[in-house]
Structure 1
Amino acid sequence: MRKTDKKIDNAIRLALTQVCEALKDEVEGFIWLTHSVNFSQGLDSLVITFMFESQALLDKANSEQQTLQMIALAQASLEMENICLANPKKQCRFKVND
């Protein structure tokens, strides 16, 4: 990983940490998030994964459109670091912690 890649990854991590802490208080069943990126493929390879306690709570978040709000919050937080998601709905995934 190049030095610039490390700086970008750190900016992503810091932005998403703030998102994670905010969502823990706002979205029932949300427990944590993670990200992955392949810098050789560029930032279009950035994927954010939001983890929920159960499928029922994820379904509830979907039905109340909270998942869309979660995507928007992550996108806004990253944009403050000059990091843009090319396709937020595809780059944000929602899973259940098994």
Structure 2
Amino acid sequence: MKKTIKKLDNNVVKALTLACETAKDWDIGFVWLTHTARYEHFPGSLMVTCVFSTDNDVLQLTESEHDKKLRQLIQSHLLKVGIKVKDIRRHVCFDSEESCEREHQGDWDKRLIHC
């Protein structure tokens, strides 16, 4: 990995770690998050996957509009490290451990390809 790409990835990780720690305190079933990116097409290729315990947690997230709040949190932390995305809704998806277990036998590497 080139030095500039490594630095960019470290900034993404730093921003998302802060967002993750904040979201864990919200009591909305949020468990963890991860990201994927093709840095030759960055930031357009950045995809953040927010993982919840159950499918119902994801449903409740959108019904309570906490999905907007979580996207704003992620966007805010990315901006603090100099990363600007045009439409945060295109860069954040929500998933559950329950769905991954049911559809991919808990294999997140396989599942994240489809998110």
What TM-score, normalized by structure 2, do the two folds share? 0.82
RMSD: 0.9
Between the aligned partners of 2:91 and 2:3, the Cα distance in structure 1 is: 24
Between the aligned partners of 2:7 and 2:13, the Cα distance in structure 1 is: 10
| Amino acid corresponding to residue 76 of structure 2 in structure 1 | A
Give the C-alpha shift of residue 88 in structure 1. Answer: 0.7
Equivalences for residues 16-31 of structure 1 within 5 A: 16-31=16-31
Higher-RCO chain (CA-CA 8 Å, sequence separation at least 6): 1
Equivalences for residues 38-53 of structure 1 within 5 A: 38-53=38-53
Give the C-alpha shift of residue 86 in structure 1. Answer: 2.0
User: What's the % identity of the aligned pairs?
Assistant: 30
Number of aligned residue pairs: give it: 98
Partner of residue 62, structure 1: 62
Partner of residue 78, structure 1: 78
SS of alignment partner, residue 93 of structure 1: strand
SS of alignment partner, residue 44 of structure 2: helix
Between the aligned partners of 2:47 and 2:27, the Cα distance in structure 1 is: 20
Partner of residue 93, structure 2: 93
Between the aligned partners of 2:79 and 2:42, the Cα distance in structure 1 is: 16
What TM-score, normalized by structure 1, do the two folds share? 0.95
Q: Contact (CA 8 Å) 1:47, 1:92: kept in 2 or not?
A: yes
- Computing the radius of gyration over CA atoms, which structure comes out larger, 1 or 2? 2
Give the C-alpha shift of residue 40 in structure 1. Answer: 1.4
| Structure 1 runs, 4 residues or longer, greater than 2 Å off | none
Runs (5+) with no aligned partner, structure 1: none
Q: Contact (CA 8 Å) 1:27, 1:66: kept in 2 or not?
A: no
Between the aligned partners of 2:43 and 2:4, the Cα distance in structure 1 is: 12
Between the aligned partners of 1:25 and 1:38, the Cα distance in structure 2 is: 30
Give the C-alpha shift of residue 57 in structure 1. Answer: 1.0
Q: Contact (CA 8 Å) 1:31, 1:52: kept in 2 or not?
A: yes
Between the aligned partners of 2:68 and 2:42, the Cα distance in structure 1 is: 24
